[in-house]
Amino acid sequence: MIQSGDISPEDSLDLQFSSFPFWKRFRTMKTSLPVHDVPPFQADRVALRPLQLQNIHTHFRWNNDPELNRLDSEVPYEEESFGAFKTRFEQMCDTPSPSHRNFEIHARDDEQLIGVAFATNISAHNRHARIGVTIGDRDYWGRGYGRTSMELLLAFCFDALELHRVSAEVFEYHTAWRDLVEGMGFRREGVLREHLWRDGQYWDKEVYGLLKTTFQASALEVDPRPLAGMEE
């Protein structure tokens, strides 16, 4: 699910990101995109793109999917009206927080929007963030798109943002997500016992971490060129 970051008019992008080498490079890039946006990234099978307002109905459908909510959110499922979601989604598209990034995941073979990815709680000083990936389109479940999207998101965090570490949260019952993060080299760093009330019982929430030094970026070739339709 897409994540809403804290948005404040007083946020200073230069103060937040002045220590990031990528920020200095990006400020000098000739682009029509706002300086707080991040160019899209792509690999062989998927592309990460900024949220697009034209895709709001797909995001709204996923937002109101009880099963996706169960897998990705601590907040009990409650259907949200389209009007309320539209206001929130437009704000995320138009005024993103400097400490938060939401991406759409697109399958490159058919350009289908298949899910979302995020990096939140981005700390420029400590160089860490919390990340997550959701494949919302069930036709793409079990086909390796989650892992490929995760690899690309990690490449963005470690190579573009030059973070030192990232963390991921795993609900006890979400075994597929646990298998994915452990398969990517994350280490379990802690357990919040009986943290989540769901399905009539309490469940643990596990915290995993991955350091840049253990991430094998060479396993993924990221194409830095702009995607079709994103050129100046």
| Percent of residues in the chain assigned helix, strand, coil, to nearest 5 | 35, 30, 40
Q: Share the mean pLDDT of the chain.
A: 82
How confident is the model at residue 229, as a pLDDT? 37
Structure tokens at 88: 């929130």
Residues 137 and 107 sit within 8 Å (Cβ to Cβ): no
**% of the chain beyond a pLDDT of 70:** 75
How many beta carbons lie within 10 A of that of residue 126, not counting itself?
Answer: 11
List beta partners, residue 49: 104
Whether residue 32 is predicted with pLDDT greater than 50 in this model: the reply is no
Phi, psi (deg, nearest 5) at residue 107: -75, 130
How many beta carbons lie within 10 A of that of residue 210, not counting itself?
Answer: 22
pLDDT in tens, 88-114: 999 999 887 889 999 999 999 889 999
pLDDT in tens, 132-186: 999 999 999 999 999 999 999 999 999 889 999 999 999 999 999 999 999 999 9
Consecutive H or E run containing 120: strand 113-123
CA-closest candidate to residue 151, choices 80, 215, 223, 60: 215
Residues 65 and 42 sit within 8 Å (Cβ to Cβ): no
CA distance 138 to 115: 10
How confident is the model at residue 80, as a pLDDT? 94
Residue partners of 205: CB distance under 8 A and separation at least 6:
74, 169, 170, 171, 172, 191, 192, 195, 196
* Residue ranges of domains in the chain, CATH in brackets: 13-161 (3.40.630.30)
Query: How does residue 38 score in pLDDT terms, banded at 50, 70 and 90?
Result: low
Whether residue 225 is predicted with pLDDT greater than 90 in this model: the reply is no
